[in-house]
Amino acid sequence: MSTPRIRQPSMRDVARASGVSYQTVSRVINDQERVHPETRARVLAAVDALGYHPNSAARALVTGRGSTVAVVASNTSLYGYARTLEGIEDAAFAAGYTVNITVLRSPDQSDRADAVERLLSQPLAGLIAFTHDDLARSAVEDVPSRMPAVTVFGTGAGGRAHILLDEEGGARAAIRHLLDLGHRTIHHAGVPPLLPSGRLLGWRATLEEAGVPRPEPIPVTWEPRSGYEVGSAIARQHDITAVFAGNDDIATGIVRALIDSGRDVPGDVSVIGFDDTPLAAYTRPSLTTVSQDFVELGRRAFDLLHGLIEQDDQPAGPTVLPTHLVTRESTGPPRR
Interface residue list for a second copy (CB under 8 A): 1-3, 5-8, 51, 53-58, 60-61, 64-66, 68, 75-77, 79, 82-83, 85-86, 89-90, 93, 96, 98-103, 105, 115, 117-118, 120-123, 144, 146, 223-225, 227-228, 249, 252-253, 255-256, 259, 278-279, 281-284, 286, 310-312
Residue 24 in the binding site for DNA (CB under 7 A): yes
Q: Which of residues 289-318 bind DNA (CB under 7 A)?
A: none
CB of 77 to a second copy, least distance (A): 4
Give min distance, CB of 82 to a second copy, in A: 4
Q: Name the residue nearer to DNA (CB basis): 10 or 291.
A: 10
Q: What DSSP string describes 162-213?
A: EEEE-HHHHHHHHHHHHHHHT-S--EEEEPPPSS--HHHHHHHHHHHHHT--
Please tell me the distance from the alpha carbon of residue 189 to that of residue 226, in angstroms, as a whole number: 10
Strand partners, 70: 100, 127
Q: Tell the smallest beta-carbon distance from residue 155 to a second copy (Å).
A: 25
Rounded to the nearest whole angstrom, what is the least distance from the CB of residue 291 to a second copy in the complex?
15
Backbone angles phi, psi at 146, to 5 degrees: -70, -20
For a second copy, which is the closer residue by CB, 101 or 184? 101
Closer of 116 and 175 to a second copy (Cβ) = 116
35 binds DNA (CB under 7 A): yes
Which is closer to a second copy, CB of 75 or CB of 261? 75
Specify the 3-state DSSP secondary structure of 149: strand
Q: Is residue 150 within 8 Å of 160, Cβ to Cβ?
A: yes
Q: Interface residues for DNA in 40-99 (CB under 7 A)?
A: 40, 52, 54-55, 58-59, 61-64
Minimum distance from residue 42 beta carbon to DNA (Å): 9
| Residue 27 interacting with DNA (CB under 7 A) | yes
Distance of alpha carbon 140 from alpha carbon 157, whole angstroms: 7
Q: What does 33 bind: a second copy, DNA, none (CB cut-off 5 to 8 Å by kind)? A: DNA
186 to 166, 217, 236, 240, 257: CA distances (angstroms): 20, 10, 16, 8, 18
The secondary element (H helix, E strand) that includes residue 290 is strand 289-291
Which residue number, 49 or 101, has a Cβ lying nearer to DNA? Answer: 49
Instruction: Compute the half-sphere exposure of residue 294: CA atoms within 13 Å on the CB side of its CA.
Output: 20
- The DSSP bridge pattern shows strands 187-190 and 124-130 to be unpaired
Q: How far apart are CA 290 and CA 74, in angstroms?
A: 23
- Report, in Å, the least distance between residue 155 CB and DNA: 34
In the bound state with a second copy, the residue whose beta carbon lies nearer, of 145 and 237, is 145
Residue with Cβ nearer DNA (44 or 279): 44
Residue 130, beta-bridge partner list:
152
Our finding on whether 118 is near DNA (CB under 7 A) is no
**Residue 260: which residues within 8 A CB-CB, separation 6 or more?**
232, 235
> Rounded to whole angstroms, how far apart are CA atoms 302 and 281?
29
What ranges make up the beta strands (E) of 41-148? 68-73, 98-103, 124-130
Q: Which is nearer to a second copy, 22 or 79 (CB)?
A: 79
Nearer to DNA, 12 or 118 (CB): 12
* 330 and 287 Cβ atoms separated by less than 8 Å: yes
By CB under 7 A, residue 241 contacts DNA: no
To DNA, the closest distance from the beta carbon of 31 in angstroms equals 10
Using rule CB under 7 A, residue 36 touches DNA: yes
- Residues in touch with DNA (CB under 7 A): 7-8, 10-12, 20-24, 26-27, 29-30, 33-36, 38-40, 52, 54-55, 58-59, 61-64
